[in-house]
Structure 1
Amino acid sequence: MSTNLFNEWPWQDIVMVAGFIVFLFLTRWIAGVLINRLFREKGSVQKAALSLINWVVFNGLLLFVIFYFSDSAWLLYPLFTIGQVDITLFLIIIAVLIITFAYRLSNILNEHLLPFFFERHHLDKGIQFTMERVVHYIIMVVAVLVSLTTVGIDLSALTVFAGVLGVGIGFGMQNIASNFISGLILLFERPIKVGDRVLIDDVIGDVEKISMRATVVRTLENEHIINPNSYFLEEKVVNRSFADPRLRLTIPIGVAYGTDVQKVKRILLVVAELARQENSFVLESPAPFVNFKGFGDSSLDFELFLWISNPKEVIRMKSELNFSIYEQLNENGIEIPFPQRDLHIKSAPESLLKGHQEDS
Structure 2
Amino acid sequence: MVLDSLSLWQWGDIIRVSLFVVVILLVRFSFTFLIKRVFRHKDGVEKALLSLVNWLTYNGILVFLIIYFSDSKWLFYNLFTIGEVEVTLFLILIAVLIITLASRLSRILNNYILPFFYERHQLDKGLQFTMERIIHYVIMVIAVFVSLTTVGIDLSALTVFAGVLGVGIGFGMQNIASNFISGLILLFERPIKVGDRVIIDEVIGDVVKINMRATVVRTLENEHIIIPNSYFLEEKVVNRSFSDPRLRLTVPIGVAYGTDVHLVKEILLSVAREARSDNPIIINSPEPFVNFTGFGDSSLDFELFIWISNPEEVIRIKSDLNFRIYEQLNKNDVEIPFPQRDLHIKSTFNPIE
Task: Name the TM tier (shorter chain).
Answer: over 0.9
The answer to whether residue 195 in structure 2 is matched with residue 195 in structure 1 is: yes
Cα distance in 1 for residues equivalent to 2:2 and 2:260:
108
Cα distance in 2 for residues equivalent to 1:301 and 1:79:
79
SS in 1 for 2:314: helix
1:6, CA displacement in angstroms? 5.8
Q: What amino acid maps onto 2:209 in structure 1?
A: K
Cα distance in 1 for residues equivalent to 2:237 and 2:212:
19
CA contact (8 A) 2:206 2:217 kept: yes
Cα distance in 1 for residues equivalent to 2:122 and 2:12:
58
Does the C-alpha gap of structure 1 residues 3 and 78 become closer, same or farther in structure 2, counting only changes over 3 Å?
closer
Q: What amino acid maps onto 2:270 in structure 1?
A: V
Q: Residues 61-116 of structure 1: CA distance to partner in whole angstroms, max 9, x if unpaired?
A: 11112333334433333332211112222211111110111111111111111111
1:140, CA displacement in angstroms? 0.6
SS in 2 for 1:9: helix
Q: What amino acid maps onto 1:160 in structure 2?
A: V
Please say which of residues 270-279 and 46-55 is displaced more in the overlay: 270-279
SS in 2 for 1:249: strand
Query: 1:204 — aligned with what?
Result: 204
Query: 1:353 — aligned with what?
Result: none
Please report the TM-score for the alignment, with normalisation by the length of structure 2: 0.93
SS in 2 for 1:286: coil
1:342, CA displacement in angstroms? 6.2
Query: 2:181 — aligned with what?
Result: 181
**Which structure would you say has the larger Rg?**
1
Query: 2:73 — aligned with what?
Result: 73
The answer to whether residue 118 in structure 2 is matched with residue 93 in structure 1 is: no
Does the C-alpha gap of structure 1 residues 345 and 106 become closer, same or farther in structure 2, counting only changes over 3 Å?
closer
Query: 2:283 — aligned with what?
Result: 283
Cα distance in 2 for residues equivalent to 1:345 and 1:198:
50
Give the root-mean-square deviation of aligned CA atoms.
2.2
Cα distance in 2 for residues equivalent to 1:40 and 1:209:
31
Cα distance in 1 for residues equivalent to 2:345 and 2:103:
84
Query: 1:228 — aligned with what?
Result: 228
Q: What amino acid maps onto 2:214 in structure 1?
A: A
Does the C-alpha gap of structure 1 residues 13 and 27 become closer, same or farther in structure 2, counting only changes over 3 Å?
same
How many equivalent residue pairs? 351
SS in 1 for 2:144: helix
Cα distance in 1 for residues equivalent to 2:144 and 2:334:
73
The answer to whether residue 166 in structure 2 is matched with residue 163 in structure 1 is: no
| Runs of 4+ with deviation above 6 angstroms | 342-346
Query: 2:63 — aligned with what?
Result: 63
Does the C-alpha gap of structure 1 residues 31 and 345 become closer, same or farther in structure 2, counting only changes over 3 Å?
closer
The answer to whether residue 110 in structure 2 is matched with residue 120 in structure 1 is: no
Q: What amino acid maps onto 2:79 in structure 1?
A: L
Cα distance in 2 for residues equivalent to 1:90 and 1:256:
85
Cα distance in 2 for residues equivalent to 1:308 and 1:7:
78
Query: 1:17 — aligned with what?
Result: 17
1:2, CA displacement in angstroms? 9.8
Query: 1:326 — aligned with what?
Result: 326
